[in-house]
Structure 1
Amino acid sequence: MTQAEYDPGPRLAHAGSIHLGTPDLERSLRFYRDLLGMEVVEQISGTAYLRGYQELTHHSLILTQQAEATVNAYSFRVQRPQDVELFASRFEEQGITTLEIPKAQVAGRGEAVRFLVPGSEHPFELYYDIERPLAPPEISSKLLSNSSRRRGLGVRRLDHINLQTSPTTVDEAEGWLRESLGFKRREILRVPELLIASWLSVTPQVHDVAIGVSADEQTGRFHHVAFNIENFHDLLTAADQMRDLDIEWGAGPGKHGIGQAMYLYVHDPGSGHRVELYSGGYLILDPEWRTLEWTPNLEHGATWYGHSLDTGPGGSFLSTTPSAGLEL
């Protein structure tokens, strides 16, 4: 086979968007749009599409008014247009049920394939085509790499998604994400007999997605979505404002040992979904990267310094929200 004929097969590009159901859309919008500074690109009959100020594509966050605070979809963009169909064929060979999501169903996005991750049962959607709308003149930026001017607390982009599943399915789900979707294992937390959590990426980030064990031992659980902000000072400003506005606190501010980013966890007031504001971290450029393994005895994994995560029995940091099934 010549170099021109080589085909690496279907691959993911990055975490594209998350679709959150919220019982109070207007309250959620005040949080993401007015406080965090995300741009509402489009709003159609109970569903709003938002993006950070350095995201040039249509959206990274979808909010839908609905009775239950459920995550409707976790979406990832693929590398090439044909990869959507190639992944669908791969899943069919594995006996995984898939749904075709037509172009008209999600504003600004092309056709997608939807399926449940084997083991964890999280609803993933893979797509390639997505529109790149310009911001309206009143918020547009002269910086060509920005989709709009920085506003509010300055969310730049979607950073990563954190999933949880039962102790009996975490190995299956984490292995499938690596073997079938091409995620690379960057750091893990393990006890001798159990994988507690794994940080996985298809980009140079430490993680585009993380998956771990849920405290309630259920599958399909959502722990948090992380949005990237520019620097540590911005995160401390966010902490100050969140306290002043009585936004429900999660944990932080502090710095993770795993990933080395500074964090602040809060909850969307409209839905209760956990949101992490995330800044810093490191990039992995080494093609021979060896997975870093932490154990509970290495005390600085979760918190290098700052406000420790409440991970003891009954701790609030362990709470999760549910995900939708195959069909919405």
Structure 2
Amino acid sequence: MTQPEYDPGPQIAHAASINLGTPDLERSLWFFRDLLGMELVEQVGGVAYLRAYQELTHHSLVLTQQEEAKVNSYGFRVKRRQDVELFHKQFENSGVRALELPAGHERGRGEAVRFLVPGSEHPFEFYYDIEKPLAEESLRSKVLSNSSRRRGLGVRRLDHINLQTSAGTVNEAETWLREELGFKRREFARVPQAPDVILASWLSVTPQVHDLAIGVAAEDSTAQFHHVAFNVENFHDVLTAADEIRDLDIAYGAGPGKHGIGQAMYLYVHDPGSGHRIELYSGGYLIFDPDWAALEWKLPELEWGQTWYGDVLDVGPGGSFLSTSPSAGLVP
């Protein structure tokens, strides 16, 4: 007897891109292109499209010249072309307003659907089709899996995105991300003074510990952006970055150190053109167990989760590590 083909429904493949608004595009370009070593694939007026040296798609980073340093969108690639439309129908059926974006809304990208995450109000964009251009000949690598030669500090790919929202909406948003979009909770912590409220949750659709994290914003505001992480090859690369960046006029955030949560080495700095927090991230562990049970961090061990070694992150009242950037609304 022939069994009907199983359809798992629409699914997300990975966190694929971010569009950062910057008041100083040239300074941001210097930071991401010349210092971090990303390839400038295309620039149209005040919008620049970049990718890291192991990314074959058109871009993972969009820099948009604008007055306010806010995040215009968080992009996720879905697993199949039809998943864009299937997610759109799912959102409509559940009362989540979504906008259709035509092919080319972002250069090199196909049709997309844009919506705000219920509760947190972060602007997500889902897409499948994206061009895979060759780098200009002078930048090409002999390694076929590299889109270009390694340059600068050598960021390899976009690793994950960290979001924050108000204490009153974080549970709704985190639950919706899991139940409606298929993210799996890998590690998490609760607010010690309010144990029913999620302090932070690390979520993934890949074997990574997190493709996306969401937690409580210090300002108790929705739609806040904490950081985007770019992956580098090894711990030594993080230390080299720290050494080189110390000599430059760049706001040094935190690190180098190692997280207990996720077990990766980190260095946080700020894009000098926009002030957005950027993490250079290496290591970590992968999850292959299909029955993985989410790990809960409680006091006093939670401090080790934030920093296993290195300077303890400044997460107290008014701490610099709690600063965030705003996100755009539904209309891009």
TM-score higher than 0.5 here?
A: yes
Correspondent of 1:262 among 262, 265, 270 = 265
Residue 294 of structure 2 is matched in structure 1 by 291
Residue 305 of structure 1 is matched in structure 2 by 309
Conserved 8 A contact 1:12-1:182: yes
Structure 1 pair 2–223 and aligned structure 2 pair: CA distance change class (3 A) = farther
Distance 1:134 1:180 in 2: 36
Residue 37 of structure 1 is matched in structure 2 by 37
Distance 2:52 2:318 in 1: 34
- 1:189 deviation in Å? 1.1
1:170 partner amino acid: V
Residue 196 of structure 2 is matched in structure 1 by 193
Distance 1:289 1:224 in 2: 26
- 1:146 deviation in Å? 0.4
2:328 partner amino acid: A
Offset from partner CA, 1:228-286 (integer Å, 9 cap, x none):
00011110010011110031011000000000000000000000000000000000011
Correspondent of 1:207 among 210, 232, 251 = 210
What 5-or-longer segments of structure 1 have no aligned partner? none
Distance 1:3 1:193 in 2: 44
- 1:4 deviation in Å? 4.9
Distance 1:260 1:45 in 2: 40
Structure 1 pair 135–293 and aligned structure 2 pair: CA distance change class (3 A) = same
Structure 1 pair 244–10 and aligned structure 2 pair: CA distance change class (3 A) = same
3-state SS of paired residue (2:68): coil
Distance 2:281 2:262 in 1: 11
How many percent of aligned residue pairs carry the same amino acid?
Answer: 75
TM-score (norm 2): 0.98
Residue 252 of structure 1 is matched in structure 2 by 255
- 1:218 deviation in Å? 0.2
Structure 1 pair 3–16 and aligned structure 2 pair: CA distance change class (3 A) = farther
- 1:308 deviation in Å? 1.5
Trace 1:67-146 onto structure 2 (pairs within 5 A): 67-146=67-146
1:237 partner amino acid: T
1:260 partner amino acid: Q
Confirm or deny that 1:327 pairs with 2:331.
Answer: yes
Trace 1:268-283 onto structure 2 (pairs within 5 A): 268-283=271-286
Aligned residues: 328
Trace 1:234-253 onto structure 2 (pairs within 5 A): 234-253=237-256
TM-score (norm 1): 0.99
Distance 2:103 2:81 in 1: 13
Structure 1 pair 254–59 and aligned structure 2 pair: CA distance change class (3 A) = same
Runs of 4+ with >2 A deviation:
1-4
Could you say what the CA RMSD is over the residues aligned between the two structures, in angstroms? 0.9
- 1:105 deviation in Å? 1.3
3-state SS of paired residue (1:26): helix
Distance 2:150 2:4 in 1: 43
- 1:104 deviation in Å? 2.2
Residue 51 of structure 2 is matched in structure 1 by 51
Distance 2:3 2:231 in 1: 37
Conserved 8 A contact 1:22-1:66: yes
Distance 1:302 1:180 in 2: 28
Conserved 8 A contact 1:189-1:296: no
